[in-house]
Amino acid sequence: MNKKAIAILGAIFILIVGTLGFLVYTKYAGNKSATNNTQATSNNTIQPNGNAGTDSTGDNSGNNNGNNSDINGSNTGSPFVKLTDEQVVSPALFYDGTGVTYFDKQGQLYQANFDESGSQLQLTRKRTLNVPLKSGIDKILWPSQGDDFIAESVGSSENKTWSLYDANAGVYKDLPSQVESLDWMPEGDKILFIWLDNGKATLNIGNPDTTGWKEISEMWEQDDEIKISPDGQSILYYRTGNTGVNNSIVMTTPDGKLWQDMVKAGYNFGVLWSPDSKKFLFNKRDRVTLQDQLWSYDIMTGETRNLGLFTTVDKAVWSKDGNTIYAAVPMSGTAGADSFSTDEFIKFDTTTSEKKEYFSDSTSMDGDNLFLSANEDKLFFRNAQDGGLYYLDLSK
């Protein structure tokens, strides 16, 4: 065999070995990529606490169905990011901070995980949970513990009705029409509720479906709304139908032994407890302009303070340490009005009164259902303008 033939055979051999090597590498790389892109199974909770729930079948594809682009249409560094195209109801953070739970407008319950691998947060592994459809849900009252929750609906007459989702039975149970107001106790196994029947109102404690109830006290008014402190030791209530000059916020205890007017002067309504149960926010409405301002009340000192933020407690959230408030404050429109507002978002330090403002110059924001990420570097909210779930990157 001459040298020319040997050279040709050598070249063919090298070509074959190179081709086989390339094919093996490509297959390995593809398998590795597929493995890295598989979402780890998170705990399938029915709601944002740590108790186990059940996914419905056929919706564990791991697809990301949200719109994860910057809301300005390009990666311009805007701190606002849209997470879903669909309208959401009562979004809430997982107990471990790894994702969100929310309803859609048809009453279907979903969960989705966070993907923080890129420059922007995204939702991944969206899945449907096996909860019956219930139309007309306006708000979900999530307890701190347990898999039950209460769906709130507002009828054409502005009257509220409630339905308990019983996780063990897997069904909704309508609460009696005599329930006027309610709130969860911290353990998630009891509720406090106001019962209105034949012109008589009473404050009661009972099971989440109102059975096994015990009367705490009679109430003086028939239109009170109650808010329980996170530690379960205090109950604040205020009138919702009072149109007079003054509307007090009153505190009592679950045993009904203590009664105290906390805020007397002015037209006051709405309550948002701080996580440590030592303070609360409330709205004070100007009788002439009808604008609402956020005020704070310190339980320990009795100090009442105007924060100078023209918004309502429904558009605010406390930090974990109770020293900072995040609020969506209308720049146009009025908080609490039927029409949409256009908001700026404000971080307010209650110890120094220092403010930091965030606003979008391209997309109208009307923020409600505010909640913070686990490490408090992102502020999530529902934009009432389009119903989508958004977040504000507080690090920018």
pLDDT of residue 304: 96
Closest CA to 179 of 141, 143, 142: 141
Structural tokens at position 62: 């791991």
Q: Is the pLDDT of residue 270 over 60?
A: yes
pLDDT in tens, 274-297: 999 999 999 999 878 888 999 999
Closest CA to 217 of 198, 229, 235: 235
Residue 327 and residue 316 in contact, taking contact as beta carbons nearer than 8 Å: yes
Instruction: Identify the three-state secondary structure at position 322.
Output: coil
Question: What is the model's pTM?
Answer: 0.82
Sequential DSSP letters for 146-197: SS-EEEEEE-TTS-EEEEEEETTTTEEEEPPTTEEEEEE-TTSS-EEEEEEE
Number of Cβ within a 10 Å radius of residue 193: 24
Q: Is the pLDDT of residue 316 over 70?
A: yes
pLDDT in tens, 329-353: 999 877 766 678 899 999 999 999 9
